[in-house]
Amino acid sequence: MEEMQEQIQRIDIKVQQLLKEYNASQKEIQRLQKENEHLSKQLQSQTEQAKQLHQKVDAQTFSGSNMEDKAKRDLEKRINTYLKDIDKCLALLHS
């Protein structure tokens, strides 16, 4: 009978230890999820900033009247791409 009591105690100790590890794992998961959310927001913010800076650089590059031929062609290609995308969107809206 005493042997059975000892086994039950060992099992109880192991269950308690597993519960502690489980709780610690849940806290770690929550911490990592918060960190992931924070990093995702930070990445989104930095991506938006990069887009804005790129647009500013493009505006400054293309605002000069002394644009090189390559820059003009690049601008025309970009504008044509935008126009095609707009046409596709309009076609989808009308269908």
pLDDT confidence of residue 82: 86
pLDDT confidence of residue 66: 62
Structural domain total, the chain: 2
Has residue 79 got a pLDDT over 90?
no
Do 85 and 71 share a structural domain? Answer: yes
Cα–Cα distance, 95 to 86 (Å, whole number): 14
Do 43 and 6 share a structural domain? Answer: yes
Do 78 and 55 share a structural domain? Answer: no
Contact 88, 79 (CB under 8 A): no
pLDDT digits (tens, 9 = 90+) for 24-70: 999 999 999 999 999 999 999 999 998 888 888 777 766 665 667 77
pLDDT digits (tens, 9 = 90+) for 6-27: 999 999 999 999 999 999 999 9
Contact 75, 66 (CB under 8 A): no
Do 78 and 53 share a structural domain? Answer: no
> Which structural domain, as residue segments, surrounds residue 82?
66-95
